[in-house]
Amino acid sequence: MNQTRIAQKYWLERAWLGDGAVSAGVSVTVDDGCFTAVETGVAEPARGANRLAGLTIPGLANCHSHAFHRALRGRTQRERGTFWTWREQMYSVAEKLNPDSYYELARATYREMVAAGITSVGEFHYLHHGPDGAPYDNPNAMGLALIAAAQDVGIRIALLDACYLAAGIGRPPEGVQVRYSDGDTEAWMKRVGDLASHADRPGQENSVVVGAAIHSVRAVPRDQMRDVVAWAQGRQAPLHMHLSEQVAENESCLAAYGITPAAVFAEVGALGPLTSVVHATHLTDGDVAVLGETGTSSCLCPTTERDLGDGIGPSRLLHQAGSPLILGSDSHAVIDMFEEMRAVELDERLATQKRGHWAADELIAAATYDGHRSLGFPDVGRIAVGARADMVTLDTSSPRTAGTGTDAETVVFAATGSDVVHVVADGRVVATRDDHRQIGVDLNRTIANLWGE
């Protein structure tokens, strides 16, 4: 028997539509998970419409996540150190995880993301194998655990499967890194090809993308990078890589290859509109130019970069050169894309001693449609006819947002993830304010179990 599908109607008290202004009284119709009508200047909700009070923006994209790092929050702040000492603490968590515990941790972490308005996540995945480096019976058990966790909480996932073959340039994997390595790119391509086939099954085509990642210039030999690039380009899939996060990384690359990491990636054909580089902190003028000329996106993760003492990337110079800005929460010291947006501008102020580098609209664009596009979801991130129906509604009367004008500046310079009260993804409600307490309970239990507490 045929069932009649009933379109949903929403009335948004105020909404950012990406045109430089916030509109009042926006009526939207959602059918089959997409916006089929958007009308502004509607004074009152139509009969039967869902009323969303506050300020509504498109769904947010978290373009760089390592889900298991969530277990480190608050625990790596107890002593001094550097990125490299933090990395040893991170490795201790990586040693503990198996497919079941990884699913539980990722599920709790993704629930936290959804509650903060994130509707798509780019999961930079390199924790592939068992503790001794031997593959699980299903070599993609860990990646499939991440996909299952995302599907269960209603967040889209771009699983960016990372090739990771070396501890450093010319050095084999060490310690827990044996879990990351497939041995060579031929084995990596076979495994990730099987993963992509699984993700292409019916029902997941709109919510799961399998992309590729080159972990870094230090973790994949230059002569094998082209295989990863060819795999991604052959599928027209996203390709992401860490770039120049640390000065030591640049120094080792220059010593080994005589050129910068960005130049290595350019040489192997890795840069382009489907590619995103993460951090891009310590760049030369030539690096900035090549990233801009190729249209490569630059994913900054300011809350992680300041937490680890990485430095401040040249976000505005990159943008002016032609490299779109996107954002991620990376190590999850904070999961709050509002803070990531805000930090881009505020970090530029610290670096230059001047204000006003980024307009609020530009930063919202980075956190919405530019971010979704970089993950392989180009029809997400706008409240517009034909786009997939993602809506994130903010409380505009909280202690943080009250009196701020309920405009784009409210989103970037006042709101936090705690102000998110309602989240819709693909036309389906995936989070409300009522979920926050249970999310905290689940995170506490899952992380305590992981640490044996």
Distance separating alpha carbons of residues 149 and 153, to the nearest angstrom? 7
User: Tokens for 84?
Assistant: 């490299």
Residue 320, both tokens:
């002016």
* Closest alpha carbon to 336 in 57, 118, 157: 118
Burial 405-431 (b: 16+ CB within 10 A, else e): ebbbebbbbbbbbbbbbbbbbbbeebb
CA 82 to mean position of chain CA atoms: 24
Buried residues in 129-168 as b, exposed as e (16+ CB within 10 A): beeebeeeeebbbbbbbbbbbbbebbbbbbbbbbbbbbbb
Range 394-397, long-range pairs (CB < 8 A, 24+ positions): 394/54, 394/55, 394/56, 394/57, 394/419, 394/420, 394/421, 395/54, 395/419, 395/420, 395/421, 395/433, 396/14, 396/54, 396/55, 397/54
Question: Does residue 435 have an active-site annotation?
Answer: no
Q: Is 279 a catalytic residue?
A: yes
**Rounded-to-integer distance, Cα 92 and Cα 26, Å:** 49
Catalytic residue among 287, 307, 310, 330: 330
Catalytic residue among 128, 240, 279, 422: 279
Are 240 and 278 in contact by the 8 Å Cβ rule? The answer is yes
Q: Which residues are catalytically annotated? A: 279, 330
